[in-house]
């Protein structure tokens, strides 16, 4: 058992609540001294407290997929995501407009197609398709890199040998 | 939705689902950061999946054991969460180590811990421990934070909630003595 394991196993170590209270700044002098008396000799607790101090304001948001995994594990209901419609309605509007203002039919139709394309591409389904497509492409590239050139059919034998 | 952390925690204690959802969104990043920092600082080799499992375990544990009710300072929960994340990270790696040992995959255990950085650190800590053995606890902490952890006087003062002049005085007073003690250490 190394020093770190011994420190972890140390039953004299302060519990999580007591240790974190050191950073709360509301302790009496006696309480502070008691904690300081321990962390002065316990490098594990001192380092843990220091890491907690350094983590203030750090730690970006976790990916939604992890948060959702935790929520599912706890059995929390998750708010259903509203479909992304900010591109859909303008696309529909310009599509309708192209038939109303026939003079600019093609222009409005083109705008409608562009907005429609944006709507499709920002949808979850489209994102998934893009990810699958990229995955396949990367896999193909790896296979190309790995496969050695086929030299079996080259006439003239190997590099040092004579032709059969 | 919950601007006030105290209010958020109170509602979480009452097991309101919206509050818990917000609690996870707001603090999972902190737990993730703290757990991965702990594993890095202790020289563990870990992957993304390990940290994700640790973060999940932390929140499940808090939920199942209603640990939020035990927290005294409900508007200052970050330090506690960070320490919980760190201890769970250490427990997780210890269990992983034990599991691998029981599976007789000794070669994998060697791969979990990289001791190269830790070796020098352990040597430095050992020398410093000897040198500061007789010092009062507060001075020991100041010197360790300054020498081992490379913290500035200002950071130490903030961390220990003491005036910066006190920190500077302690360091200045003990510097010469420590310089002699630590010159024996080959870097």
Percent of chain A with pLDDT over 90: 12
Give the best-scoring range by mean pLDDT among A40-49, A72-81, B69-78, B127-136.
A40-49
Residue B155 pLDDT class (50, 70, 90 cuts): very high
Q: How far is B17 from chain A (nearest CA, A)?
A: 6
Q: Does any CB of chain B come closer than 8 Å to the CB of residue A6?
A: no
**Whether the predicted pLDDT of A63 surpasses 90:** no
Q: How far is A67 from chain B (nearest CA, A)?
A: 6
Question: For B30-39, B52-61, B126-135, B155-164, which range has the lowest pLDDT when averaged over its residues?
Answer: B126-135
Give the long-range contacts of residues A9-14, CB within 8 A, separation 24 or more: A10/A42, A10/A44, A12/A38, A12/A42, A13/A38, A13/A42, A13/A44, A13/A45, A14/A38, A14/A39, A14/A42, A14/A45
Q: What is the ipTM of this complex?
A: 0.78
The verdict on domain B116-182 having CATH code 3.50.50.60 is no
A positions 38-57 inside 8 Å of B (CB): 39-41, 43, 46-56
**Whether the predicted pLDDT of B161 surpasses 70:** yes
If one compares B90 and B109, the residue with the highest pLDDT of the two is B90
Give the mean pLDDT of A130-154.
Answer: 68
Cα A68 to chain centroid, rounded? 12
Give the mean pLDDT of B108-117.
Answer: 50
How long is chain B?
Answer: 187
Percent of chain B with pLDDT over 90: 35
Amino acid A56: pLDDT:
82
Residue A152 pLDDT class (50, 70, 90 cuts): low
If one compares B181 and B148, the residue with the highest pLDDT of the two is B148
Q: Does any CB of chain A come closer than 8 Å to the CB of residue B46?
A: no
Q: Where are the domains of chain B?
A: 5-112, 116-182
- Chain B hits for A11, CB-CB cut-off 8 Å, are none
Asked if B159 and A53 count as a contact pair (C-beta separation under 8 A), the reply is: yes
Amino acid A2: pLDDT:
45
Q: Where are the domains of chain A?
A: 3-54, 88-146
Question: For A63-67, B8-12, B105-109, B115-119, which range has the lowest pLDDT when averaged over its residues?
Answer: B105-109
Q: How far is CA A146 from CA A136, A139, A140, B115, in A?
A: 15, 11, 10, 34
Give the mean pLDDT of B51-73.
Answer: 89
Amino acid A27: pLDDT:
84
- Chain A hits for B82, CB-CB cut-off 8 Å, are 20, 51-52, 55
d(CA A63, CA A69) in angstroms, rounded, equals 10
Reported as half-sphere exposure (CB side, CA atoms, 13 A), residue A154 has a value of: 9
H or E, element range at A34: helix A29-39
Give the mean pLDDT of B103-127.
Answer: 58
> What residue of B is the nearest CA neighbor of A5?
B94
Dump pLDDT digits (tens) for B117-140: 666 667 777 777 888 888 899 998
**Whether the predicted pLDDT of B165 surpasses 90:** yes
Token pair listed for B32: 């993730």
Q: Does any CB of chain B come closer than 8 Å to the CB of residue A65?
A: no
d(CA B11, CA B141) in angstroms, rounded, equals 38
Which of B28, B138, B144 is closest, CB to CB, to A66? B28
> What residue of A is the nearest CA neighbor of B26?
A61
Cα B177 to chain centroid, rounded? 29
Mutate to test the interface with A, among B16, B21, B151 (most CBs of A within 10 A): B21
Global model pTM greater than 0.95 = no
Class of domain B5-112: mainly alpha
């Amino acid at each position: 058992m190394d020093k770190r394991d011994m420190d972890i196993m140390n039953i004299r170590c302060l519990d999580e609540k007591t240790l974190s209270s050191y950073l709360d700044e509301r302790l009496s002098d006696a309480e502070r001294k008691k904690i300081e008396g321990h962390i002065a000799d316990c490098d594990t607790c001192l380092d843990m407290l220091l890491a907690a101090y350094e983590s203030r304001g750090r730690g970006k948001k976790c990916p939604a997929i992890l948060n959702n995994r935790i929520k599912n594990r706890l059995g929390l209901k998750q708010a259903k995501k509203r479909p992304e419609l900010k591109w859909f309605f303008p696309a529909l509007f310009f599509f309708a407009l192209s038939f109303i203002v026939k003079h600019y039919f093609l222009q409005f139709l083109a705008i409608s197609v562009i907005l429609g394309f944006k709507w499709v591409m920002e949808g979850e389904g489209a994102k998934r398709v893009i990810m699958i497509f990229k995955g396949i492409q990367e896999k193909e590239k790896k296979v190309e890199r790995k496969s050695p050139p086929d030299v079996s059919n080259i006439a003239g034998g190997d590099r040092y040998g004579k032709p059969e | 939705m919950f601007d006030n952390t105290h209010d958020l925690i109170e509602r979480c204690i009452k097991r309101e689902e919206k509050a818990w959802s917000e609690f996870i969104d707001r603090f999972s990043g902190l737990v993730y950061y703290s757990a991965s920092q702990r594993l890095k600082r202790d020289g563990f080799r870990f992957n993304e999946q390990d940290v994700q499992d640790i973060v999940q375990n932390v929140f499940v544990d808090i939920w199942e054991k209603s640990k939020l009710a035990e927290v005294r300072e409900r508007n200052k929960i970050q330090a506690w969460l960070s320490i919980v994340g760190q201890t769970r990270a250490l427990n997780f790696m210890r269990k992983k180590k034990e599991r691998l040992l029981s599976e007789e995959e000794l070669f994998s255990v060697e791969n979990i811990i990289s001791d190269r950085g830790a070796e020098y650190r352990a040597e430095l800590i050992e020398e410093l421990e000897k040198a500061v053995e007789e010092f009062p606890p507060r001075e020991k902490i100041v010197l360790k934070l300054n020498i081992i952890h490379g913290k500035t006087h200002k950071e130490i003062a903030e961390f220990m909630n003491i005036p910066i002049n006190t920190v500077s005085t302690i360091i200045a007073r003990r510097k010469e003595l420590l310089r002699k003690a630590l010159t024996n250490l080959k870097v």
